[in-house]
A and B are shown apart, each in its own frame.
Chain A
Amino acid sequence: MIAELGLAALWLAAALAALQLVAGALALREGGAELAALVRPAAIVQGFLAGFSFLMLLVLFAQTDLSVKLVAMNSHSEKPMIFKLSGSFGNHEGSMLLWVTVMALAGALIAAVERRLPEKTMLATLAAQSFVGIGFYAFLLLSSNPFERLPVPALEGMGLNPLLQDIGLVFHPPTLYVGYVGLSVAFSFAVGALLTRQVTPDFARAMRPWVLGAWIFLTLGITAGSYWAYYELGWGGWWFWDPVENASLMPWLAATALLHSASVLASRDALRTWTIMLGVVAFSMSMVGTFLVRSGILTSVHAFAVDPERGTFILGLLVIYIGGALLLFALRAGTISEGERFSVTSREGALVFNNVMLSAILGIVLLGTLYPLLTEAFDVRVSVGPPYFNPVGAIFVVPMLLVMAVGPLLRWRKDSLTRIRLPIAIIGGALLAALILVSLLSSVSILPLLGLVLSIGLAIASFMPIRGRKLRLLPIATWGMMIAHFGIAVALFGMASESAFSEETLAAVEVGGSADVGDWNVVLTEVRPTAGPNWTALEGRMMVSYKGGDAKEIDPQSRNFWAPPQETTESALVTRWNGQLYAVIGRQAGEGRWQLRLWWKPFVTFIWYGGMLVALGGLLALIGRLMADLKRRSIKSRVAGRRAETAV
Chain B
Amino acid sequence: MMLSKCLFAAMSVFLAAAAIPALAQDSMPPAPYAYNQLADPEQEAKAQDLMETLRCLKCQSQSIADSDAPMAGDMRHQVRSRIAQGEEPEAIRAWLVARYGDYVSYAPTVSETTWPLFAVPLLLVLLAAIILWRRLRARS
Contact = CB atoms under 8 A, between A and B. Distances in A.
* Chain A partners chain B: yes
Given A225-B7, A387-B53, A234 B140 contact: no
A221 B10 contact: yes
B73 to A, nearest CB: 10
Nearest to B136: A344
A91 interface: yes
B98 interface: no
B65 interface: yes
Interface string A272-306: 00000000000000000110011000011111110
B36 A95 contact: no
Interface residues of B, number: 64
Contact of B139 (A342, A381, A392, A587): A342
Interface in B1-41: 1-2, 4-23, 29-30, 35-37
Contacts, number: 241
A293 B63 contact: no
Given A247-B8, A384-B117, A95 B14 contact: yes
A161 B21 CA distance: 10
A49 to B, nearest CB: 23
Q: Which of B14, B35, B114 has the most CB of A within 10 A?
A: B14
Contacts of B7: 225, 229, 233, 240, 242, 244-245
Contacts of A235: 65-67
A225 B10 contact: yes
B139 to A, nearest CB: 5
A94 B124 CA distance: 39
B108 A384 contact: yes
Interface in A492-550: 504-508
Contact of A304 (B15, B36, B103): B15
A178 B91 CA distance: 47
A567 interface: yes
Q: Which of A161, A349, A395 has the most CB of B within 10 A?
A: A161
B128 A568 contact: no
Given A293-B12, A349-B136, A371-B117, A506 B60 contact: no
Given A229-B8, A367-B120, A383 B108 contact: yes
Interface string B108-135: 1000011011101100110110011001
A236 B104 CA distance: 22
B29 A225 contact: no
Interface in A281-333: 289-290, 293-294, 299-305
Interface stretch (A424-432, A589-597, A621-629): A589-597
B84 to A, nearest CB: 15
Contacts of B74: none
Q: Which of B23, B30, B101, B128 has the most CB of A within 10 A?
A: B128
A366 to B, nearest CB: 10
B106 A566 contact: no
A94 B14 contact: yes
A378 B116 CA distance: 14
Given A356-B128, A565-B23, A161 B16 contact: yes
B61 A242 contact: yes
B78 interface: no
B77 interface: no
Contact of A505 (B4, B16, B37, B120): B37
Contacts of A294: 11, 14
B22 to A, nearest CB: 5
A29 B127 CA distance: 39
B39 to A, nearest CB: 12
- Give the top 6 A-B pairs by smallest Cβ distance, nearest first: A385-B106, A302-B18, A235-B66, A387-B107, A161-B16, A176-B10
Interface of A: 74, 89-95, 160-164, 169, 172-173, 175-177, 180, 221, 225, 228-229, 233-237, 240, 242-245, 247-248, 289-290, 293-294, 299-305, 341-344, 349, 352-353, 356-357, 360, 363-364, 367-368, 371, 375, 378, 380-388, 392, 395-396, 414, 504-508, 560, 564-569, 586-587, 589-590, 595, 597
Interface of B: 1-2, 4-23, 29-30, 35-37, 48, 52-53, 55, 60-63, 65-68, 101-108, 113-114, 116-118, 120-121, 124-125, 127-128, 131-132, 135-136, 139-140
